Amino acid sequence: MAKAKQLEELKAKIIEDKVTPELAEQAAQLVFGDGSPDAEIVFIGEAPGKNEDLKGVPFVGAAGKFLDEMLDSANLQRKDVYITNIVKYRPPNNRDPEPDEKAAFWPYLLKQIAIIKPKIIATLGRHSGQVFLPDLRISADHGQPKRIHVTMDGKEESIIILPLYHPAAALYNGGLRQTLLEDFQSVPKLLGVSN
Ligand code: URA
């Protein structure tokens, strides 16, 4: 089955399975993902904010604008990559997602990744990074790719995790803006690495 169709079915399954019903009830809609199902790189943020909740698309607010700039700096566009979040409903008042909410979405996130089969997962922020690299210290480890092995659909797959700061952090810390842009420059080279 085509990847786009598999992703559509996964999206429908999240709704059918009533994942995090309390979050679903308060959110305007599910924010599943955006971009190419054939992307070689998937960006994973934490959870949708207000703008994302209204539009149903991840990273369309101020942080998203900076993410678009980062993509542009590497000659990439949204249609070349795939963007999603760990938690796919907006938490009330933009609070951090709870561990049980992240855990509830984990199997669906893994399935989403298994469908796309990217070479690289770029995690945006500490929370997203620690889902894949539990010992991550973002201040020391940002920009340093790590190869991990995850079991997807019963098969062990090797994948590169590139831990990045969250683009929202660059909005209130100007220094991080440059750091993020610099860390991002490794993306085209990593995309050239074969699995
Ligand atoms: N921050 C995130 O982590 N995800 C979004 O989709 C928007 C802002």
Residue 129 CB–ligand 1 contact under 6 Å: no
Domain-by-domain residue ranges, the chain? 2-188
Note whether 89 and 25 are within 8 A (CB).
no
Query: Which candidate, 132, 141, 125, 129, places its Cα nearest to that of 173?
Result: 125
Is residue 45 lining ligand 1, measured as CB closer than 6 Å?
A: yes
Predicted confidence band of residue 193 (pLDDT cuts 50, 70, 90): low
CA of 95 to the centre of ligand 1 (A): 12
Q: Is the pLDDT of residue 151 over 90?
A: no
- pLDDT tens for 18-63 read 999 999 999 999 999 999 999 999 999 999 999 999 999 999 999 9
Residue 167 CA, ligand 1 centroid: distance in Å: 9
**Could you tell me where the DSSP H helices lie in 18-135?**
21-26, 50-55, 62-73, 99-116, 126-132
2-188 has CATH 3.20.20.70 classification: no
**Span 54-109, pLDDT tens digits:** 999 999 999 999 999 999 999 999 999 999 999 999 999 999 999 999 999 999 99
Predicted local distance difference test score (pLDDT) of residue 144: 97
